[in-house]
């Protein structure tokens, strides 16, 4: 749909409103990734512009998210890149570039719909683990104690902070509680008000005019003025960064698609996974050379954009422009932001990742999926976030293969000229010919389970039928593997004295089957019925 002039006012307002939330949050999330706050600001520039031109969603807001920031920190530490290391910026560029390349390769081989099969319970458990890990990581800022930036893992970080509880700085704790309370109150009572901007503004005002620094409150490191200077990635740690880049690419894609679909209006085009892979991949590649964190679409910031009236990605261009203005003009002001305020700005939104209500619903719906979510969360808290992603993917693949290997075969019964299906795996009553139909298309993963069930049902009938008709109406396509499996079934039942016939194969699959010598024999022997 071409751009309409009447959208411009709403897009400009929405871009400014989203920027008031996105920019402070992205700067806060940069600290979660153990990076300078300005890297979060840079993440709101070029990646957002690239997505505005390439993405499929009209109003999703792309910068970085708490999940991606946490995985970035885990990946960097796993590669031996310590917080504050002079090599950290160039290694971050390498990581962001790797994420972009992975997303683009996934687009080329059309993996979008495959990645979307990741179980929702897996994501629920992973996000809960991320939320708790980030929350623990903010405790030193909120307490005013010295953090150990190279400690990783929920329990180690939590224990390190709690050991210093007796040394907590009173004024910092008061500021932290006030910031948390104000963010919570604004979010509940005035959801349209940009809480992070209000709290950041009050924190800066308190440090500038209220004497907070004189009371011992720590400020964030100085934010450099100006736009990001292009750099070049360091490729010496590619092998160590690659596993984390794979996890980040997967989570960034899933978060973006989920956000895009969650805010999509009825009149908007459907979200195409492969297009999102391209847009995110190009955004990451472009941002990598300008010190941006791996980009991702966040639901909360996209929701602000939509509620403020965004009708197109012009709102994203406005937000990116606002980020440029902030970098050029407001860096000295941002340098007055207390660390406790920044920690509160991280803590409050990430607590929303711990979705207790959804976990409770999952327990009611399926104990098995609830167990999966808790297992992934436990791995995230005890072993680490990257192993949790790997475990989640492996468990999802196991669940998919397990479900695929379940047989779905019914007896087709004729009642006064009307065909009805019996229960799966059960014979309603003896029939000759006995008509059985796989309820799903046969493919490599489910072939043996379904042909085994057909064999069992045919041979367990009392009296046994002389003729079995296999209804292949669900078989939209076919392969040599499927034909070989049907041939083996034919041979086994023929040895037991049962004549096997086939019926109702769709035209496209039938045309392929007729190229195979065994199927040619089936038709020559008049054992195929076209219903």
> Which pLDDT score is estimated for 426?
79
pLDDT tens per residue, range 71-120: 999 999 888 887 778 889 999 999 999 999 999 999 998 887 777 777 78
Q: Are 182 and 195 in contact (CB under 8 A)?
A: yes
| H or E stretch covering 18 | helix 8-32
Q: Are 281 and 107 in contact (CB under 8 A)?
A: yes
Position 415 pLDDT exceeds 80: no
End-to-end CA separation in angstroms for the chain: 45
- The per-residue DSSP string of 420-482 comes to EE--TT--SS--SSEEEEESS---TTTHHHHHHHHHHHHHHSSSPPSEEEEE-TT-SS--HHH
**Looking at residues 292-318, what average pLDDT do you find?**
86
CA distances from 11 to 165, 316, 391 (A): 46, 8, 41
Radius of gyration, alpha carbons of the chain: 29
Q: Check whether the bond before 116 is cis (ω within 30° of 0).
A: no
**pLDDT at residue number 150:** 55
The set of residues, in sequence order, having a beta carbon less than 8 Å from that of 525 and lying 6+ positions away, is: none
For the four alpha carbons of 376, 381, 383 and 384, in that order, the dihedral sign comes to positive
Do 10 and 20 meet the contact criterion of CB atoms below 8 Å apart? no
Once rounded to an integer, what is the mean pLDDT over residues 189-217? Answer: 91
In tens, the pLDDT along 120-152 reads: 888 899 899 999 998 998 999 999 998 765 566
The average confidence (pLDDT) of the chain is: 89
In whole angstroms, what is the distance from residue 290 CA to residue 86 CA?
16
d(CA 425, CA 95): 51
- Of the chain, the percentage scoring pLDDT greater than 70 comes to 97
pLDDT range class, residue 153, cuts 50, 70, 90:
confident
Q: 44 near 319, Cβ under 8 Å?
A: yes
Q: In what order do the strands lie in the sheet with 467-471?
A: 418-421, 409-415, 434-438, 467-471, 499-503, 528-529
Q: What is the DSSP letter of 301?
A: H
pLDDT value, residue 191: 85
pLDDT of res. 416: 45
**Where do the domains of the chain lie, and which CATH numbers do they carry?**
5-400 (no CATH), 409-529 (3.30.750.24)
Among 35-44, 229-238, 307-316, the range of highest mean pLDDT: 35-44
Q: Give the phi and the psi of residue 150 in degrees, each rounded to 5.
A: -100, 5
Q: pLDDT class for 419, splitting at 50, 70, 90?
A: low
- Are 436 and 409 within 8 A, CB to CB? yes
What pLDDT band is residue 298 in, cutting at 50, 70 and 90?
confident
* Residue 434 burial (10 A CB sphere; 0-12, 13-18, 19+): buried
CA distance 246 to 292: 17
| pLDDT tens sequence across 505-527 | 999 999 999 999 999 999 999 99
Please report which confidence band the pLDDT of residue 164 belongs to, taking 50, 70 and 90 as the band edges: confident
Q: How far apart are CA 27 and CA 37, in angstroms?
A: 5
Element housing 500 (H / E): strand 499-503
Q: How far apart are CA 481 and CA 444, in angstroms?
A: 7
Please list the residues that pair with 515 across neighbouring strands. Answer: none
């Amino acid at each position: 749909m071409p751009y309409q002039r009447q959208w411009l006012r709403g897009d400009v307002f929405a871009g400014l409103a989203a920027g008031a939330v996105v920019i402070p949050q992205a700067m806060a999330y940069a600290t979660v990734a153990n990076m300078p706050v300005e890297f979060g600001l840079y993440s709101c520039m070029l990646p957002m512009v690239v997505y505005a031109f390439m993405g499929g969603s009209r109003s999703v807001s792309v910068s970085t998210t708490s999940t991606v920031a946490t995985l970035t920190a885990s990946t960097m530490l796993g590669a031996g890149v310590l917080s504050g290391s002079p090599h950290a910026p160039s290694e971050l560029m390498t990581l962001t570039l790797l994420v972009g390349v992975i997303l683009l390769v996934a687009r080329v081989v059309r993996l979008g719909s495959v990645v979307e099969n990741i179980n929702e319970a897996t994501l629920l458990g992973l996000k809960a683990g991320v939320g708790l890990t980030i929350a623990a990581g903010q405790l030193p800022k909120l307490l005013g104690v010295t953090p150990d930036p190279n400690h990783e893992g929920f329990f180690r970080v939590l224990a390190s902070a709690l050991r210093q509880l007796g040394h907590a700085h009173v004024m910092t704790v008061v500021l932290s509680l006030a910031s948390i309370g104000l963010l919570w109150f604004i979010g509940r009572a005035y959801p349209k008000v940009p809480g992070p901007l209000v709290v950041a503004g009050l924190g800066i005002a308190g440090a500038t005019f209220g004497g907070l620094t004189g009371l011992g409150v720590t400020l964030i490191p100085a934010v450099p003025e100006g736009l990001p200077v292009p750099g070049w990635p360091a490729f010496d740690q590619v092998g160590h960064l690659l596993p984390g880049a794979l996890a980040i690419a997967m989570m960034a894609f899933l978060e973006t698609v989920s956000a895009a679909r969650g805010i999509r209006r009825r009149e908007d085009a459907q979200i195409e996974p492969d297009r999102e892979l391209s847009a995110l991949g190009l955004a990451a590649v472009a941002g990598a050379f300008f010190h941006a964190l791996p980009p991702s679409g966040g639901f909360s910031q996209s929701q602000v954009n939509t509620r403020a009236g965004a009708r197109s990605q012009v709102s994203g261009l406005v937000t990116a422009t606002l980020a440029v203005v902030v970098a050029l003009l407001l860096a000295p002001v941002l340098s007055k932001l207390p660390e406790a305020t920044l920690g509160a700005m991280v803590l409050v939104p990430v607590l929303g990742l711990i979705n207790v209500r959804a976990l409770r619903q999952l327990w009611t719906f399926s104990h098995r999926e609830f167990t999966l979510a808790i297992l992934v969360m436990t791995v995230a808290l005890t072993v680490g976030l990257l192993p949790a992603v790997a475990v989640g993917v492996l468990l999802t693949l196991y669940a998919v293969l397990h479900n695929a290997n379940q047989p779905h075969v019914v007896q087709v019964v004729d009642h006064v000229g009307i065909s009805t299906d019996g229960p799966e795996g059960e014979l309603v009553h003896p029939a000759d010919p006995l008509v059985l139909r796989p309820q799903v298309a046969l493919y490599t993963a489910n072939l043996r389970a379904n042909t085994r069930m057909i064999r069992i049902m045919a041979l367990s009938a009392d009296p046994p039928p002389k003729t079995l008709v296999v209804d292949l109406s669900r078989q939209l396509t076919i392969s040599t593997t499927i034909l070989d499996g049907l041939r083996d079934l034919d041979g086994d039942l023929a040895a037991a004295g049962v004549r096997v016939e086939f019926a109702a194969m769709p035209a496209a699959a039938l045309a392929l089957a007729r190229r195979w010598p065994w199927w040619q024999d089936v038709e020559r022997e008049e054992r195929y019925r076209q219903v």
